[in-house]
Amino acid sequence: MIERLAIVGVGLLGGSVAKAVRARGAAREIVGVGRDLARLRPAVSDGAVDGVTTDLAEGVAGADLVVLGATVLANDALLPAVWAAVPAGACITDVGSTKRSIVREAERLTAERGDVHFVGSHPMAGGEKSGYGVARADLFERATVVVTPTKHRVDSAVDRVTTLWRTLGARVVVWDAEVHDRSVAAISHLPHVVAWALMDAVQRYEPAALDIVAGGFKDTTRIAASDPAVWREILLANRDEVAVSLGAFREALADLERLIAVADPAALESYLARVKTLREAVR
Amino acid sequence: MIERLAIVGVGLLGGSVAKAVRARGAAREIVGVGRDLARLRPAVSDGAVDGVTTDLAEGVAGADLVVLGATVLANDALLPAVWAAVPAGACITDVGSTKRSIVREAERLTAERGDVHFVGSHPMAGGEKSGYGVARADLFERATVVVTPTKHRVDSAVDRVTTLWRTLGARVVVWDAEVHDRSVAAISHLPHVVAWALMDAVQRYEPAALDIVAGGFKDTTRIAASDPAVWREILLANRDEVAVSLGAFREALADLERLIAVADPAALESYLARVKTLREAVR
């Protein structure tokens, strides 16, 4: 049981943690911390949190578990103040989409104060909409959460964070921050970049064609409507790995384009069949 | 009312036409034509068609409306035999994903025999699964169908084909075959190529990352599981326009990659916000 859970940034992910923890009775007290009291109010009204504050130190004081739910750069920036304000033995996690930067910052802070533990989290859940208004108690059910310890890994802290996500219905994998950032470049950041470029290309090439789009186009570009402020930070925080994944994508695209250009039906069909098999193997 | 509707190729699209026409009582008789009697049998068993045959001339004899539901190259190849076998005044359409080639073939055949009318159709409906097993009577409801007349355009024939699709619940736009092929390169063929290359890139770059994929990746790559035999033909039939659309895509991708590389947060956010607005404007 969590005694006092502080959630800093009560948007889609932070708000869903609050609702899910509340729905399962997994914490005695839940406090929401944010910059704008008016935007925190809905979480009080619907009972997801017990109280809200704009004072970070007050919000996390006495918390045995803190979840940073702001954007990746904001989480990095908030971490030192949270670290200084929590009681000894407290555990801090986050829900950011990149992990190397916050894990390094936590390692630096551990050298200064070793009785606070950080274990990163990235719930592979959400959607192109953001804000508390779309938060849901069931958001993490059957989702995968990647948990990233620091080099000062403390097993009990990893267990606490792993238990939190399992309690909310998620499957947990524990990965190094480097492996995480490389993997999400491949299966999340690259698909976003491709979806934005695809939407932009149609607008440049043949905008009137948007009048006849069907499900395939809509599915492929759905994530092109993702939050620009959130994604600006993710892409810049992970830009080295995004660049490498884009290199792999350009190579794959050039190979496929060559198969179309040389008009070899058998080779083309065999490429498409191989990729179909890969896609069908995705859970 | 259609007197005798012949559907040549009773797969996802041809089968859905049969089921939808039957459900609405829009034809007195529906005949299914295919190469394999065993594969045609389910359409007889469930009452979607009145009879089936593997003899093309017998199947289309006496038909006032013929729908070609095979793949694009097969439809092109079948057209002369259908043209020769139908009665005077008959109207032929198809459901293929590219239109220049079959429209040109129909124009050639019109010069030989002018009492048969061809109007192309491309229903923007379907999915990554194919075959009669996934055919549905409601497939065309609220879908868009692009109808492409020949240069010998006969208004009454355009009306008959337009009426067929409207009867099945679709919205119809009438476009030149050239405009159609350029537009579907942009909003259908390009997204497919991008989805295949994306799936292939992840497999090359970081296949272990496929263990943590979420909804965004699945949506973006869903069409990478499309039928290789069908798509081989579509990509080759439209490869000039696919190449042009890929050029536009590469430019858009390079621009976005540059914004990430120079790490200008404001310019990047403004690009993402512009594309989000484009995507949200898609019906």
Distances (CA, A) of B105 to B70, B76, B102, B122, B146: 16, 7, 5, 16, 18
B200 — pLDDT class (breaks 50, 70, 90): very high
Q: Which residues of A fall within a CB distance of 8 Å from B209? A: 182-184, 186-187
- Interval B213-231 mean pLDDT: 94
8 Å CB contact of A225 and B269: no
B127 — pLDDT class (breaks 50, 70, 90): confident
> For residue A276, which amino acid is it?
K
Greatest pairwise CA separation for chain B in angstroms: 67
Give the closest residue to B225 by CA, choosing from B135, B134, B125, B128.
B128
Interface test with A, best of B203, B232, B258 (most A CBs within 10 A): B232
- Interval B185-214 mean pLDDT: 96
Burial, B88: exposed, middle or buried (Cβ in 10 Å; 0-12, 13-18, 19+)? exposed
The answer to whether B55 and B220 are in contact (CB under 8 A) is: no
In this predicted structure, what is the pLDDT of residue A38? 94
Over residues B132-156, the pLDDT tens digits come to 999 999 999 999 999 999 999 999 9
Tell me the CATH architecture of domain B180-280: Orthogonal Bundle (1.10)
B128 — pLDDT class (breaks 50, 70, 90): confident
Interface test with A, best of B129, B180, B198 (most A CBs within 10 A): B198
Q: Which residues of B fall within a CB distance of 8 Å from A214? A: 124-126, 143-144, 188
- Interval B256-262 mean pLDDT: 97
- In chain A, the N- to C-terminal Cα span, in Å, equals 32
Of the candidates A203, A272, A274, the beta carbon closest to that of B232 is on: A272
8 Å CB contact of B252 and A197: yes
Q: Is the pLDDT of residue B24 over 80?
A: yes
Q: Is the pLDDT of residue B163 over 80?
A: yes
**Number of A:B CB contacts under 8 A?**
303
Of the candidates A124, A232, A239, the beta carbon closest to that of B214 is on: A124
- Interval B95-114 mean pLDDT: 97
| DSSP codes, A43-99 | HHHTTS-SEEES-HHHHHTT-SEEEE-S-HHHHHHHHHHHHHHSPTT-EEEE--S--
In this predicted structure, what is the pLDDT of residue A127? 76
Distances (CA, A) of A137 to A17, A48, A125, A128, A147: 7, 9, 12, 17, 20
Percent of chain B residues past pLDDT 90, beyond the cut:
97
**In whole angstroms, what is the distance from residue B231 CA to residue B229 CA?**
6
In this predicted structure, what is the pLDDT of residue A239? 96
**Which ranges in A143-214 belong to alpha helices (H)?**
155-167, 177-184, 190-205
**In whole angstroms, what is the distance from residue B247 CA to residue A198 CA?**
11
In this predicted structure, what is the pLDDT of residue B130? 87
In this predicted structure, what is the pLDDT of residue B283? 80
Of the candidates B211, B244, B282, the beta carbon closest to that of A210 is on: B282
Question: For B175, how many CA atoms within 13 A lie in the half-sphere containing its CB?
Answer: 23
Q: Which of residues 264-283 of A touch B (CB under 8 A)?
A: 265, 268-276, 278-283
**What is the distance in angstroms between the Cα of B266 and the nearest Cα belonging to chain A?**
8
User: What 3-state class would DSSP assign to B216?
Assistant: helix
Question: 């292939």: which residue's tokens?
Answer: B200
B126 — pLDDT class (breaks 50, 70, 90): confident
Q: CB of B226 within 8 Å of any CB in chain A?
A: yes
Q: Which of residues 165-224 of B touch A (CB under 8 A)?
A: 173, 179, 182-188, 190-206, 208-224
In this predicted structure, what is the pLDDT of residue B129? 85
Give the closest residue to A59 by CA, choosing from A107, A14, A102.
A14
Q: CB of B77 within 8 Å of any CB in chain A?
A: no
**What is the distance in angstroms between the Cα of B111 and the nearest Cα belonging to chain A?**
30
Give the closest residue to A119 by CA, choosing from A164, A57, A87, A56.
A164
User: What 3-state class would DSSP assign to A106?
Assistant: helix
Q: Tell me which residues of chain A have a pLDDT lower than 50.
A: none
**A267 is written with which tokens?**
């080779």
**B65 is written with which tokens?**
């409306």
Count the neighbouring beta carbons within 10 Å of the beta carbon of residue B283: 8
| DSSP codes, B217-269 | HHHHHGGGGS-HHHHHHHHHHTHHHHHHHHHHHHHHHHHHHHHHHTT-HHHHH
Q: What CATH class is the domain B2-175? A: alpha beta
The alpha-carbon radius of gyration of chain A (Å, integer) is: 21
In this predicted structure, what is the pLDDT of residue A126? 81
Greatest pairwise CA separation for chain A in angstroms: 67
Average pLDDT, rounded, for chain A: 96
Residues of B237-264 as b/e, b for ≥16 C-beta within 10 angstroms?
bbbebbebbbebbbebbeebbebbeeee
Global ipTM: 0.89
Over residues A128-167, the pLDDT tens digits come to 788 999 999 999 999 999 999 999 999 999 999 999 999 9
Please name the residue of chain A whose CA is at the shortest distance from the CA of residue B122.
A212
Q: Give φ, ψ of A91 to 5 degrees.
A: -120, 135
Of the candidates B146, B187, B276, the beta carbon closest to that of A202 is on: B187
Neighbouring residues of A150: CB distance < 8 A, sequence distance ≥ 6: A103, A106, A107, A110, A118, A119, A120
Q: Give φ, ψ of B28 to 5 degrees.
A: -75, -35
Q: Which residues of B fall within a CB distance of 8 Å from A125? A: 214-215
Question: For A167, how many CA atoms within 13 A lie in the half-sphere containing its CB?
Answer: 19
Count the neighbouring beta carbons within 10 Å of the beta carbon of residue B233: 24
**A144 is written with which tokens?**
């995968």
Domain boundaries, chain B: 2-175, 180-280
